[in-house]
Structure 1
Amino acid sequence: MGRRWLVTGCSSGLGHALATAAARAGDELVVTARKTADLADLAAAWPGRISPVPLELRDTASCEDAVRTAVDRLGGIDVLVNNAGVGLFGAVEEVSDAELRDQLETLLVGPWRLTRLVLPLMRAQGHGHVLNVSSVAGRIAFPGLAAYIAGKHALEGMSQALAAEAAPHGIRVTVIEPGMFATRYGTAMTEARHRVPAYDGTNREMLEGARGIAENPETGRPEDFAARVLDIVAAEGPTPLRIPVGDDAYGFLDLAEQAAREELAAARSLVKGPPPAV
């Protein structure tokens, strides 16, 4: 039997490619976007395998409806992929409370809510797989992306705790950490309304780089991302909690691990050194 998927954020990019790959593999999916019109091509290409459902992650009732619809149409949920996301660009000083809350609602609270709704179903089945799509930014940081990075770091922390809680019930948890892929992430990114010119020298280059990710010849293809995720879901036996996807992701995280070791060594030297002179 094929797997039954609930995948968020499928109007384009990674989610769209993953839905296509899973349907091609013979699985059944409920796919979501804020507007089902954005999912029409998927439904038309895979009638009977892909069912589009509207979802506003920031709304509790909408999340409940999406899960209920998935169960009604598929008979259960074997794989939940929390993929939907949006970027906010702005220095810490520039991001307002309202903008921060909106970012965290999408990147953390919404996925947490969907996971909470799906877990009782998976426990009753005795199996399931929750995949939270993070980013290399879930373990490292870039200037100008503090709100986005805060959401991804928090999502990874939640996933680590969830993995320990869910394992005795036959439920796997995986954090996917994509590198750069040709999606609308950079062009769809919004900017904080409040501007502090003092940060332009630090952050503007980062914004330009993010806007141009899709045009970078070294950027990965969403179809390659989808293939790796299918491999992860099909894997038997224990798998790592965090799985980077994309060659550049491993390069970024190798550097991050080295920097973390150096920072730890410097911290140990500082706190274990002789007390400061009075």
Structure 2
Amino acid sequence: MPHRWLVTGCSSGVGRALAERLVDEGEQVLVTARRTETVARFEGRPNAVVAPLDVRDEEQCRAAIDLAVDRFGGLDVLVNNAGYGQFGAVEEVSAEQVLAQFETNLFGPWRLLRLALPQWRAQGGGHALFVSSTAGFTPYPGLSAYTASKFALEGLAESLAQEATHLGVRVTILQLGAFATGYGRAMIQPSLPVAAYVPVYGEMRTAFEHFEQLPGLNDPTLFAETVVRVVREPNPPLRVPVGPDAQAHLTAALEQRAKQLAAAGEDFF
């Protein structure tokens, strides 16, 4: 039986790749984007419904959940993919930029979950997927706001898993590596630049300016394949690294944290 999906952020990148894969396989998909003209390719497909969705807007979130239930008879899978990157050190990112980052990357998924959970309780289950990043587990210089939002997103997901598993709700955090998308071009620059931080993140900033030309980037179809496999698993894992680079970065971060914990234990306890 096909699943009934709501996918956010389908205008480009991994969201578009996932929507295309699902629609081609006959799944029932609510394909959403802030501007529906960016997902016009899905119009007319019998198993796809196109809808506007800005995850910062409570009413649009409510309308999207209601539309999925109305058109498909329910909702099985919510893929929280919509998000963007904010460049800048802690001092460089304005209060308005921090709030905007969290409104999309954290509060948006939270809004949709609050609306989806009553449906899942009524039907006996559902699956929430959270598109995170290696930056949701290990920080990178110059990505303070983005890293903070993804750390918080993973905390939300883990809390949900503890609270709602007994209701049949499954939770998966997708920790993405570097993908060949428009991520680098879409990176928002800080409002309050400070030259003193350039030596710390200058090389990374240059890399982001030419992100799509970096060697070894993962193809977005890998993301789509991973999501499909995870949702079809009888007992999906809580965390899934997506891409061999993600596996390597996360393993190194875990080893580093273990060393830090051991050293702190020796010094303070």
Q: TM bucket by the smaller chain?
A: over 0.9
The equivalent residue for 2:64 is 66
Match among 249, 265, 269 for residue 266 of structure 2 = 269
Could you say what secondary structure the match of 2:92 adopts? coil
The equivalent residue for 1:275 is none
The equivalent residue for 1:176 is 174
The equivalent residue for 2:205 is 207
String of CA shifts for 1:17-53, please: whole Å, max 9, x gaps: 0011111221010011110000011335xx1122111
**Amino acid in the other structure paired with 2:62:** E
Give unmatched runs, 5+ long, in structure 1. Answer: 273-278
**Amino acid in the other structure paired with 1:100:** V
Give unmatched runs, 5+ long, in structure 2. Answer: none
CA distance in 2, matches of 1:240, 1:29: 23
* Count of residues paired in the alignment: 269
Structure 1 position 106 matched with structure 2 position 101? no
CA distance in 1, matches of 2:32, 2:78: 12
CA distance in 1, matches of 2:260, 2:141: 19
Displacement of 1:211 after TM fit? Answer: 3.1
Could you say what secondary structure the match of 2:218 adopts? coil
CA distance in 2, matches of 1:142, 1:111: 23
Question: Is residue 8–residue 82 contact of structure 1 (8 Å, CA) maintained in 2?
Answer: yes
CA distance in 1, matches of 2:58, 2:255: 41
> Which structure has the bigger radius of gyration?
1
Q: TM-score, normalised by structure 2?
A: 0.97
The equivalent residue for 1:225 is 223
The equivalent residue for 1:123 is 121
**Amino acid in the other structure paired with 2:266:** S
Match among 245, 253, 262 for residue 248 of structure 1 = 245
CA distance in 1, matches of 2:226, 2:210: 24
The equivalent residue for 2:51 is 53
The equivalent residue for 2:187 is 189
CA distance in 2, matches of 1:231, 1:43: 26
The equivalent residue for 1:21 is 21
Kindly report the root-mean-square deviation, in angstroms, between the aligned alpha carbons of the 2 structures. 1.0
Could you say what secondary structure the match of 1:240 adopts? coil
Identical aligned pairs, as a percentage? Answer: 48
Question: Is residue 101–residue 145 contact of structure 2 (8 Å, CA) maintained in 1?
Answer: yes
Question: Is residue 55–residue 108 contact of structure 2 (8 Å, CA) maintained in 1?
Answer: yes
